Structure 1
């Protein structure tokens, strides 16, 4: 295995799969960087670095955008941050295990904008479905696959 270790960068404030990320990175020899605001206390553990930023609206996103590299996997449910991650060349994975690709992001951002306009106009929009164990399993499987694929590419 190469000396370069893959890194998973996590938008940690609302991430429901932090423990799955920690287990997965340890099992494949990668690392994780979890970024959150002071309002969400995270504990560092082996292979998991924690960075705490101030509580302003976009602090975690800005920090992540500045440290993200093309050899990282970004875990976020924020489509704006996902777009920044893709622009930096990172792989992007939602906490439900869906990989977001370049050809997906424009439609996702348009849907986000449309829903926000509806809410500002007084309409109610549906929130996300409840998070399930199947979502956790799908996420962990996809993260493991991405990390292994990235490591194989580094080893070539």
Structure 2
């Protein structure tokens, strides 16, 4: 199964396309304030959680199983999932690992401290078609390597 931290995920369509090709179930986990009545293919389900800090993260941790793939941009969630020996992929296509998670968490902490002190930091750039294709390629590679 592919679990998706779906509230702010820009590559949901790409995930569904790749999962459909490989016949893998997808579960989108999102807050109720991101409710959609959109119809998804039968292999896609949505789990809604209460609107609250980290509600979707806690649900993902509770749902995940050993052979699952999780897509998230949340470094804290990725850190928790790595301890459960789960494959975790960033929406950019970067694979989280024990080798890179500590540095990512440290960089996030430094950015938070800079923002608290009043400094402005850049947000992520808009996703391009090339970014989307790169993610799809990385997801396919991750699936094949499992």
TM-score (normalised: structure 2): 0.94
Tell me the CA shift for residue 31 of structure 1. 0.9
List runs of 5+ in structure 1 lacking aligned partners: 1-6, 151-156
Match of 2:5? 11
Greater CA deviation, 61-70 or 37-46? 37-46
Provide Cα deviations, 1:59-113, integer angstroms capped at 9, x if missing partner: 1001001111221111000100111111111111111111111100000000000
Secondary structure of the residue aligned to 2:99 is helix
Count how many residue pairs are aligned between Structure 1 and Structure 2: 144
Q: Is the 8 A contact 1:36 1:53 kept in 2?
A: yes
Match of 1:64? 60
The RMSD of aligned alpha carbons is: 1.1
List runs of 5+ in structure 2 lacking aligned partners: none
Tell me the CA shift for residue 128 of structure 1. 1.2
- Work out which of the residue numbers 110, 118, 123 in structure 2 matches 1:122: 118
TM-score (normalised: structure 1): 0.88
Q: Is the 8 A contact 1:9 1:72 kept in 2?
A: yes
Match of 1:148? 144
